[in-house]
């Protein structure tokens, strides 16, 4: 029994009620699956005039198929830049200066732009916070989806339409109606689900979701994340879930990487981060947003000393 | 607890592309002196319209709002002006609510300049000097004298919201209406701003109407909570009863999402 408890692999697999069996954290699982994505010491620098400043420094993490890794940080932490580097969509002033981006076993960082572009939107799917920007305003959703599909797959327009409709249906939208709609005719939640349908239709190996629900209402956001989880289970793709909200991702992710000032300060399995966060910054993020039951249980004290500290911090925050 | 404000059956409609939309429907509520009342709802639930009605920025088509027993509808000119002294506001976006071309101390002093006859107790010894008054107000919200001459763009989002709060409390209002005051801020900064608001509310003994989509934040600082959906109040309860058996199905959904 003791031996079992000490062996994370076995005890991990024994957790019943978990719908997904997850590859154990970090390198222990490398024998079983090839990671979809592995960042190895990724460093991104920004050039402003003559000044060169690092904005992501030595970032490393691994995502396996079917796994959701959440990359959490506040504004300016470098999490979106990391996503941009993986997608090959960095603005011209930013450059990957060191490290590897290993996608399905191959380092894609040195690839030429053209080759990267085929990958991005195809094998590497993405949705962003700004769902308005996911579609061109004056072209119907369906037409845009067909265009996306046919630029990556050799399908007839008719076949592509069938695939698009099926995909819209899978995200719980009235497929025919949405297919014939302009983006402005849909609500924010519907648009974000249509964006998911549009990117998942190409069966990416990994989905990068950058703050996908931040611009949405709480309940609308929950529905979008439910759809994202379901698609992940159905297709077995990996998800890189980028968010500023640690509480939110604790409910959704298998592992969590916390970013601050361009560096990953802590990376671990979700349970470990939730219950035994080691880094003071992670602890602070958890404390900043207690769950309702923690508030209810009175675990959050209105500490006067703490307030004074908070006020003082305000001077530099 | 004495009653400060009471709204009875207020309704407000908007025209949205020719269609009438009931933003607020038959809403009744009351706020006691020094009480913190939370209003929770999603976008389009009518919570911000409710805030604007209680600020007397708009008038309800039906119903009546009374502040300390005096009906809003009877207030004109000078009387309305003096009502504004007692009901102040902090909006979501401090970038929009502060004048970008003024150093923050001038923005902070705007309400006091509009009410030269008012001297709040916490400014009693410095009211003769505008800069000293502004410095005192900034200190109250955790900023310092060195921020006086900064412009809004030189401050962080959290600092700008502190400036907006300093302005909101400067007249020592009886009621401070906060409309999503933390929604555009980073998580760690949100917690600081919530603590600051709670601290000021207790210290100054002012009532607070806290409008937010974040039910956990509302639970943390409010005494009582109202839940709005489609312009109506669907649930109302004391904060500590949030997990109670008698919660509305919609409230339960919001709670589940916040777990």
Burial class of residue B205 in the structure, from the number of CB atoms within 10 Å of its CB (0-12 exposed, 13-18 middle, 19+ buried): exposed
**Three-class secondary structure of residue A295 per DSSP:** helix
| Residue in A218, A288, A312 nearest the CB of B254 | A218
Looking up tokens 């519907």 gives A190
Which residue does chain A place closest to B197, by CA atoms?
A: A307
**E-state strands within chain B:** 3-16, 19-32, 36-40, 62-67, 70-71, 87-90, 175-179, 207-212, 224-229, 232-238
Q: Is residue B132 part of a domain?
A: no
Strands across the sheet containing A106-107 = A51-63, A37-48, A94-103, A106-107
Beta carbons within 8 Å of B236's beta carbon, 6+ residues apart: B29, B224, B225, B226, B227
pTM equals 0.82
Assign residue A17 a region (left: φ > 0; alpha: ψ between -120 and 50; beta: otherwise).
left
Residues of A in Cβ contact (< 8 Å) with B189: 317
To which H or E segment does residue A239 belong? strand A238-243
Give, in order, the Cα–Cα distances in Å from A283 to each of A279, A290, A314. 6, 11, 19
Domain boundaries along the sequence of chain A: 33-123+208-312, 134-201
**Measured distance CA(B1)–CA(A102) in Å, rounded:** 64
Q: Do B143 and A312 touch (CB under 8 A)?
A: no
Closest CA to B199 of B224, B179, B169: B169
Q: Do B187 and A289 touch (CB under 8 A)?
A: yes
Residues of B in Cβ contact (< 8 Å) with A245: 187
- Predicted local distance difference test score (pLDDT) of residue B259: 80
Q: Is residue B143 part of a domain?
A: no
- Predicted local distance difference test score (pLDDT) of residue A43: 96
Query: Exposure string (b/e) for B44-53, b if CB count within 10 Å is 16 or more?
Result: bbbbbbbbbb
- Predicted local distance difference test score (pLDDT) of residue A35: 94
**Measured distance CA(A110)–CA(B225) in Å, rounded:** 55
Closest CA to B223 of B202, B244, B200: B202
The tokens for A209 are 């979701």
**Measured distance CA(A168)–CA(A197) in Å, rounded:** 5
- Predicted local distance difference test score (pLDDT) of residue A106: 94
CB-defined contacts A:B, below 8 A:
98
The tokens for B218 are 């509302």
Residues of A in Cβ contact (< 8 Å) with B188: 74, 284-285, 288, 317
To which H or E segment does residue B130 belong? helix B130-140
What is the CATH number for B38?
3.40.50.300
Q: Do A307 and B196 touch (CB under 8 A)?
A: yes
| Tally of domains within chain B | 1
Q: Do A314 and B162 touch (CB under 8 A)?
A: yes
Q: Is residue B216 part of a domain?
A: yes
Residues of A in Cβ contact (< 8 Å) with B147: 315
Q: Do A315 and B142 touch (CB under 8 A)?
A: yes
Q: Is residue B233 part of a domain?
A: yes
Number of Cβ within a 10 Å radius of residue B99: 12
Number of Cβ within a 10 Å radius of residue A115: 12
A296 touches chain B (CB under 8 A): yes
The tokens for B182 are 């933390």
Closest CA to A81 of A62, A67, A101, A104: A101
**Measured distance CA(B6)–CA(B37) in Å, rounded:** 12
Tell whether the model's pLDDT for residue B72 goes beyond 70: yes
Q: What is the DSSP string of B219-252?
A: HHH-SEEEEEETTEEEEEEEGGGTT-TT--HHHH
The tokens for A208 are 């990068």
Q: Choose, out of A76, A226, A310, A313, the residue to mutate when testing the contact with B (most B CBs < 10 Å).
A: A310
Residues of A in Cβ contact (< 8 Å) with B214: 218
Tell whether the model's pLDDT for residue B50 goes beyond 60: yes
Give, in order, the Cα–Cα distances in Å from A102 to each of A41, A69, A164, A299. 11, 16, 30, 43
- Predicted local distance difference test score (pLDDT) of residue B65: 96
Min distance A307 CA to chain B CA atoms (Å)? 6
Averaged over B31-43, what is the pLDDT?
95
* Residues in B lying within 8 Å of A, measured between beta carbons: 42-43, 141-144, 147, 156, 158-159, 162, 186-192, 195-196, 198-199, 213-216, 219-220, 240, 242-243, 253-255, 257-259
Q: Domain range spanning residue B31?
A: 3-97+174-257
| Residue in B156, B187, B220 nearest the CB of A295 | B220
pLDDT (tens digit, 9 = 90+) per residue, B90-146?
998 888 889 999 999 999 999 999 999 999 999 999 999 999 999 999 999 999 999
| Residue in A218, A284, A314 nearest the CB of B158 | A314
Q: Is residue B205 part of a domain?
A: yes
**Three-class secondary structure of residue B128 per DSSP:** coil
Q: What is the DSSP string of B1-20?
A: --EEEEEEEEEEEEEETTEE
**Measured distance CA(A221)–CA(A186) in Å, rounded:** 15
The tokens for A243 are 């968010």
Fold of A33-123+208-312: Rossmann fold (3.40.50)
CA A78 to chain centre: 13
- Predicted local distance difference test score (pLDDT) of residue B181: 92
Residues of B in Cβ contact (< 8 Å) with A249: none
Pairing of strands B232-238, B224-229: antiparallel
Q: Is residue B93 part of a domain?
A: yes
**pLDDT per residue as tens, chain A (317 positions):** 333 333 433 333 433 333 333 334 444 444 457 899 999 999 999 998 889 999 999 999 999 999 999 999 998 899 999 999 999 989 999 999 999 999 999 999 999 988 998 888 889 999 988 877 789 989 999 999 999 999 888 999 999 999 999 999 999 999 999 999 999 999 889 999 999 999 999 999 999 999 999 888 888 899 999 999 999 999 999 999 999 999 899 999 999 999 999 999 999 999 999 999 999 999 999 988 888 888 888 755 544 444 444 444 444 43
Assembly ipTM: 0.78
The tokens for B3 are 């009653």
Residues of A in Cβ contact (< 8 Å) with B142: 310-315
**Cβ B48 vs Cβ B209: under 8 Å:** no
Query: Helices (H) and strands (E) in chain B — how many of each?
Result: 9, 10
Burial class of residue B249 in the structure, from the number of CB atoms within 10 Å of its CB (0-12 exposed, 13-18 middle, 19+ buried): exposed
Q: Is residue B107 part of a domain?
A: no
Which residues does residue B39 pair with via DSSP β-bridges, in sequence order? B211, B226
Min distance B72 CA to chain A CA atoms (Å)? 32
Closest CA to A168 of A132, A193, A192: A193
Min distance A180 CA to chain B CA atoms (Å)? 22
**Measured distance CA(A169)–CA(B249) in Å, rounded:** 28
């Amino acid at each position: 029994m003791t031996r079992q408890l000490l062996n994370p692999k076995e005890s991990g697999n024994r957790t019943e009620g978990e719908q997904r069996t997850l590859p154990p954290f970090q390198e222990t699982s490398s024998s079983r699956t090839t990671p979809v994505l592995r960042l190895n010491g990724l460093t991104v620098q920004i050039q402003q005039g003559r000044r060169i400043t690092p904005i992501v420094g030595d970032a490393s993490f691994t995502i396996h198929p079917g796994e959701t890794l959440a990359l959490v940080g506040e504004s300016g932490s470098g999490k979106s830049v990391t996503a941009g580097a993986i997608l090959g969509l960095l603005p011209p002033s930013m450059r990957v200066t060191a490290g590897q981006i290993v996608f399905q076993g191959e380092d894609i960082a040195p690839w030429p732009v053209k080759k990267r572009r085929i990958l991005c939107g195809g094998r590497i799917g993405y949705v962003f916070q700004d769902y308005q920007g996911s579609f061109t305003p004056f072209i119907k959703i369906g037409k845009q989806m067909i265009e996306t599909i046919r630029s990556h797959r050799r399908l007839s327009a008719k076949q592509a339409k069938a695939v698009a409709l099926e995909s819209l249906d899978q995200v719980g939208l009235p497929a025919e109606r949405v297919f014939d709609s302009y983006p402005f005719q849909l609500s924010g939640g519907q648009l974000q689900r249509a964006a998911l349908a549009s990117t998942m239709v190409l069966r990416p190996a990994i989905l990068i979701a950058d703050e996908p629900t931040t611009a949405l209402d709480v309940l609308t956001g929950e529905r979008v994340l439910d759809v994202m989880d379901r698609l992940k289970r159905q297709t077995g793709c990996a998800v890189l879930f980028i968010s500023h909200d640690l509480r939110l991702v604790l409910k959704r992710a298998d592992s969590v990487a916390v970013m601050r000032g361009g560096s990953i300060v802590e990376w671990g399995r979700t349970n470990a981060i939730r219950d035994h966060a080691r880094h003071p910054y992670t602890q602070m993020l958890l404390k900043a947003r207690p769950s309702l039951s923690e508030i209810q249980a009175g675990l959050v004290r209105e500490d006067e000393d703490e307030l004074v500290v908070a006020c003082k911090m305000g001077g530099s925050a | 607890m004495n009653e400060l404000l009471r709204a009875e059956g207020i309704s407000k409609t908007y025209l949205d592309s020719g269609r009438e939309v009931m933003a607020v429907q038959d809403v009744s509520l009351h706020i006691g002196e020094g009480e913190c009342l939370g209003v929770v709802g999603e976008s389009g639930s009518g919570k911000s319209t409710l805030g604007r009605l209680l600020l007397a920025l708009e008038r309800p088509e039906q119903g009546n709002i009374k502040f300390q027993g005096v009906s809003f509808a009877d207030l004109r000119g000078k009387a309305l002006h003096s009502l504004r002294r007692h009901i102040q506001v902090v909006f979501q976006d401090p970038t929009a609510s502060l004048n970008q071309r003024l150093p923050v101390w001038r923005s902070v002093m705007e309400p006091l300049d509009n009410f030269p006859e008012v001297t709040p107790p916490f400014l009693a010894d410095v009211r003769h000097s505008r800069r000293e008054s502004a410095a005192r107000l900034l200190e109250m919200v955790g900023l310092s004298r060195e921020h006086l001459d900064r412009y809004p763009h030189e401050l962080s989002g959290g600092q700008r919201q502190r400036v907006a709060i300093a302005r909101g409390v400067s007249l020592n209002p009886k009621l401070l209406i906060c409309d999503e005051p933390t929604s555009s801020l980073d998580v760690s900064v949100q917690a600081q701003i919530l603590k600051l608001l709670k601290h000021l509310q207790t210290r100054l003994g002012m009532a607070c109407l806290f409008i937010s989509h974040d039910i956990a934040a509302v639970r943390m600082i409010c005494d009582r909570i109202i839940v709005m959906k489609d312009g109506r109040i669907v649930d109302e309860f004391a904060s500590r009863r949030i997990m109670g058996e008698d919660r509305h199905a919609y409230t339960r959904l919001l709670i589940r999402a916040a777990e």
